[in-house]
Structure 1
Amino acid sequence: MAIAALAMDAIHLTLLIQPLHTFRHQKQIGSAHELPWSKRFAWASQLCSSPRGVGWDHQVKNLLEHSASSRQEFVRSHLINAAKHILCFNIALFYMRHEPAYQSAAAFASQPFVPRLLNCGAFLVLQYCMGAAVYSLIVALIVSCTSSEPSSWPEMCGKWEDAYTIRRFWGRTWHQFYRRFLTPFGQKMTSFLGYKRGTSGSSYTQLYTAFFISSITHLGGDVVVNSSRLGISCPFFIYQALAITFEDVVIAAARRAGVKETKGTRIVGYAWVICWFIVTGTSWTTALIIAELEGGGKVIPSNFLGV
């Protein structure tokens, strides 16, 4: 996945835009293309190592909040956060090790929906907690041992409370590491098709292009899971664009009918998002787990940090 994302970002930075003119570091003085070669190389290295655009001014708005806490409070909070996620990781791991469905592809595929939902949930919790714990530990180490400021390290994802529509889930909460290269792909496709900026054609071209490119990026994960099942993740991401289109139609109709956004409508939105991912997320995760079991992969990893 990391290699696939780097490849997409490389295409974005070399073929779709002119980085020296598009990006500007917030501490940068003067234009990047006027820097000597050695400093330009360092500038480019910093740009490539910041996929979320933290500390940079560019065309993709950064939606992540920066921490205002002191260095010690920041490190302590991230160590506590890492400990919580390590605990959840090992709880999910304990459950998976004692669940017979993970022993074979046939056993996992033959489960009723509710047990399969729980088993897919445990797998997703395991994956998320591992990434969140590693991120928190790395951030705590860097901020405590270097001069890097806490403001350079926002949370790994956006706010979960912002995800009361599927569009907001992907745009504000989850897709933060891919936003920088997904947006330019969509903009280029819009320009190629001749849609004017701000039109529905432009908006939905960018939407479907972004999810198509995201699905291509996830081929990297498919290869690792089971190379004979390449493309198994693609339908899930295309479904998200279709759901957002449907969601936009419903929201537009509700607004024309005089419905305003309230706490009640947000609750309905949260229920919709949860139900949607229960259906599509369970289907996608089931396919991944079965593919990995069929390919002889290791669905159940070792304990995290030996806990």
Structure 2
Amino acid sequence: MSSDEKRLPFPFITLLVLPDVLLALVLALGLSKRTRIILFAGFALLCYKGLQYTTGDKMQDYSMGSTIGGQFFTALHLLLIVEPIRQYRHSTDVDDPRTRPLLKRVYWAGCIIHSPRGIGWNYQTPHIPGRPTLKRGAFIVSRVLRAVGSFLIIDAAQSFIHTNPLFSGSAVELENASITSQGILYRCLNIIAWMSTPHAGVRMQYYLISAISVALGLSTPADWPDPYGKWSDAYTVRNLWGRTWHQMMRRYLSSIGKVVVQVAGFEKGTWISSYTQLFVGFFVSGVMHSFGDAMVGRKYFGASFPFFIVQAAAIVAEDIVIDLTGRWGRRPSIKVSFIIGFAWVFTWSMISFPLYIDWAVRAGLGGCELLPVSPVRALLGLWK
């Protein structure tokens, strides 16, 4: 997290792949709790060490740092909160994984590490989109086409960003830059373009991996439901984050929240238990993304954090309004409720997303080139 001039290139094998392999080995061995605590401390040090390097690109640094943050909390969940070898089972398991040879146990544990939503496992997270029923060939073709479509969305979003002078100013110009400075229309367009990049990026990677996995016979189409839920469900802020947005972090967000509630002694099912878990979930999400902030630069650590906490506050306010309208017996019709809900979510997004984006613009992430080629800018004669 020192200056870029002093940072070495990020060693992908040593600090990204190897920790995953070691974590799978530890889970496969079914070690004691004390040993797992010690090993988690070592894993945490590896995560911290990873933030000292750079990929050479600020946007990639943010993505890599966030990935490391995800690894950290995944390890915390799997090593300290649950015992996968004892508690987790896949629908295809016909024997006790503990009786299998070591290499098969390591593979089994690796599948758990990379199954954050638990598709087909006994810990499957709620609100998962329907599982595909396509045949193998049709599934592969459809996912490749969806990956191409996602690439074009990224290209369109990046083309807008790279042709907007707000994102490509000098260091002095970016010092006080804000996506709110260009009026309400461009504020909306800036937010949509910026957030379309990670949204479509996750989809593109997910679809390509699913197509390759199914093509190689490592999985079936049913193992790959869409990474995101329906936009039609995003009529509340709670639904936006709990149903429509991807649920790749929900496993450890939920388990950590439950541990906090249990330690605090709050009774299950009470409002204080529910809202404690809500705030803990967004707190952990904010910390995870702060790993990305830190990899961009030490001074940015925690820059993303306020955005996530205010989402929890918005959900509380939202719940209060919904509860009061129900108590007063003045709840509008379903159609009107949806219209009001979508308007509220859109308005809140326009208000809160600058907290997530402005610091990144000032740090220069908007000037990063994410794509090796841009068909959109090539057609416009803007690609160099």
Equivalent residue letter for 1:43: W
Contact 1:225 1:288 in 2 (8 A): no
| Partner amino acid, structure 1, of 2:147 | A
- Between 1:179-188 and 1:169-178, the stretch displaced more is 169-178
| Letter matched to residue 207 of structure 1 | L
Which residue is 2:201 aligned to? 130
RMSD of Structure 2 on Structure 1 (CA): 2.2
Query: Which residue number corresponds to residue 111 of structure 1?
Result: 181
The 3 A distance-change label for structure 1 pair 38 and 252 is: same
Report whether the alignment pairs 1:197 with 2:268.
yes
- Look up the match of 1:18: 83
Amino acid of the structure 1 residue aligned with 2:349: F
Offset at residue 76 of structure 1 (A): 2.2
Cα distance in 1 for residues equivalent to 2:95 and 2:333: 44
CA contact (8 A) 2:136 2:215 kept: yes
Query: How far does residue 54 in structure 1 lie from its aligned partner after superposition?
Result: 1.1
Name the amino acid aligned to 2:274.
Answer: S
Give percent identity, aligned residues only: 32
Q: Aligned ranges for residues 224-235 of structure 1 at < 5 Å?
A: 224-235=295-306
Shift of 1:82: 1.8
Counterpart position of 2:368: 300
Q: What is the CA deviation profile of residues 30-76 of structure 1, one whole-angstrom value per residue up to 9, with x for unaligned ones?
A: 43445454433222111112111112112743623211122222222
8 Å contact from structure 2 (residues 168, 367) kept in 1: no
Q: Which stretch shifts more, 120-129 or 279-288?
A: 120-129
Report the more deviating stretch, 261-270 or 109-118. Answer: 109-118
Is contact 1:158–1:173 with CA below 8 Å preserved after alignment? yes
Q: Is the contact between residue 86 and residue 304 of structure 1 (CA under 8 Å) also seen in structure 2?
A: no
SS at match of 1:177: coil
TM-score (norm 1): 0.90
Change (3 A) 1:79 1:261: farther
User: 1:116-143 CA distances to partner (integer Å, 9 max, x unpaired)?
Assistant: 4423332222332233222222222222
Q: In 2, distance between residues paired with 1:48 and 1:202?
A: 28
CA contact under 8 A between 1:52 and 1:177: conserved in structure 2? yes
2:381 alignment counterpart: none
Kindly report which structure 2 residues correspond to 1:1-307, keeping only aligned pairs within 5 A, or say none.
1-58=66-123, 60-61=125-126, 63-104=128-169, 105-106=174-175, 108-109=177-178, 111-114=181-184, 115-258=186-329, 259=331, 262-290=334-362, 292-293=363-364, 299-304=367-372, 307=375
Q: Distance in 2 between matches of 1:168 and 1:261?
A: 19
For residues 98 and 42 of structure 1, what CA distance do their matches in structure 2 show?
A: 46
Mapped to 2, the partners of 1:146 and 1:175 lie a distance apart of 25
Following superposition, the deviation at residue 238 of structure 1 comes to 0.4
Structure 1 residue 98: deviation in Å? 2.0
1:302: Cα distance to partner?
4.4
Note if contact 1:232-1:287 (Cα within 8 Å) is conserved in structure 2: yes
- Amino acid paired to 1:186: G
Cα deviation, residue 204, structure 1? 0.8
What amino acid is the match of 2:79?
T
What's the CA shift string for 1:194-216, capped at 9, x where partnerless? Answer: 11111111101111111111111
Q: Which amino acid aligns with 2:335?
A: K
Counterpart of 1:287, as a letter, is W
- Which stretch shifts more, 218-227 or 32-41? 32-41
Q: Equivalent residue of 1:51, what SS?
A: coil
Give SS of 1:189's match.
helix
Q: Greater CA deviation, 163-172 or 181-190?
A: 163-172
How far apart are the structure 1 equivalents of 2:71 and 2:96? Answer: 25
Letter in 1 for 2:340: V
Q: Which amino acid aligns with 1:17?
A: V
Moved more, 153-162 or 100-109: 100-109
Which segments of 5 or more consecutive residues in structure 1 lack a partner in the other structure? none
Specify the SS of the correspondent of 1:195.
coil
Shift of 1:285: 0.9
Contact map agreement 2:128 2:225 (CA 8 A) in 1: no
User: Does the aligned pair in 2 maintain the 1:130–1:304 contact within 8 Å?
Assistant: no
Q: Distance in 2 between matches of 1:80 and 1:59?
A: 27
Q: Which deviates more, 151-160 or 14-23?
A: 14-23
Using structure 2 for the length normalisation, give the TM-score: 0.73
